[in-house]
Structure 1
Amino acid sequence: MPWRWMALGLLLLNIAAGFGFLLSDPVVETDAPDMPPLAADVNQPPLVSEVSQFEPDASQAPACYSIGPLPTLLAQQRGEDRLRAFVSDLRLRQTTADHDRGWWVYLSTSSRSEALQLTRELAEADVEDYYVVAGGEMENAVSVGLFQSIENARRRQARMQELGFNAQMEVRRERIPQFWIDYRVTPGDEPPWRFILRASPGAQRMSIPCFTTSGDNATREPSA
């Protein structure tokens, strides 16, 4: 009968639709929770434009320099006169350094009488330019030459040894003073420091940590 076939067809369609619904993943939509506002006492990161307003400008900071070593106290005083009108702070320092005087050739002795006997022997051997050291660690040594060149010193030593003298050689050093000028300069100022370097060959200008002097701007520090 036709109506039975129609009822059977509708039943099959309903069954197919039910299987399709069961096999599919239903999408569940949920509402996103509302974010609570930040508390008033919570620090918020500043904007880039705000940060740039508070960062210090390095080009506006003072700079400090040291000039030296200067060879004499007079050179330091003249450098101070040139700089004082252009700097915001200034101090003077003095240090000491070892300086090689040259190569010393000498005859070692144990007493004054032995030194005098060596001088008579040197005179008999026609040796010139000698003297007896009068004091210090090398007292009573007989000096037979001081040379800037090590080659000349070695020739002198070899000559003394050929004549039968036990000549020795060593470097002679002395402590010499060195003078410095430290100064602070504000941005935009350019003191005439190049004139100081030209007047004192070997001196340099070096950047140093900034300092502050008390009282008189020019202070003399003891030797280091």
Structure 2
Amino acid sequence: MLLRALVLLLVILNLGVAAWWALRDTPVESAPLPAETAPTLTLLPPQAAPQAPMPLAEAFESEEAAALDGDSDGDAVAAPRCVALGPFADVAARDAARRRLASDGARVFAREVAVAPRGWRVWLPPQRDRAAADAMAARLRAAGIEDQYVIADGDDAHGIALGRFDSEAPAQARVEALRTAGFAAQAEPIGGQVQPWLDALVDAATADAALRTRTGAARVEPGHCATAQDAG
């Protein structure tokens, strides 16, 4: 009887254990905790040092250069041209024209141009009157000098012409021969003179006709401004 009770108890215990095992909850696995990460140092990009303010003088120069660059994009300003103006009647007329051009803003340079003579003449200067001139002509003929005549009128009236030559050398030889014979002859160039001219740097748009009107010059030609500036 006791044995049967023990066996029954064991059976009940086994059934209880089996029921507990079958009915127990499945343990839920907890998610692993994230590993702690060490704090990191983030480097920011280097910042440029603050620029010092530009000095006023440099700022003005920069603005002026920018303005000039802007002007260069527009129409180019034509360079002035060099002209020669002349010949003038005399130095006074040339100087008056020079002042007018200078007042217009032109650069002006004065110069003289020697004009080659057309020839040379040998003569005796005017005598006191026509009678004295005729007497001198008679003396010349008596000395064997036939190539001569008395000048009848003009500024040289009562002078005695003694020959005309193409160049100076034969004219001077004629003078020496006459002086050896006792006559105070002279040699002078014919038509040779010094003409007043101007060289000027003027606005390229100024017409030649306007320059002649403004200055009274007889002609307008290409000038020699570089030579004039070097000489000045």
Question: Bigger radius of gyration, 1 or 2?
Answer: 2
1 or 2 for the larger relative contact order (CA 8 Å, sep ≥6)? 1
More helix by share: 2
More strand by share: 1
Give the TM bin, normalised by the shorter chain: 0.3 to 0.5
Q: TM-score if structure 2 supplies the norm length?
A: 0.40
Q: TM-score if structure 1 supplies the norm length?
A: 0.42
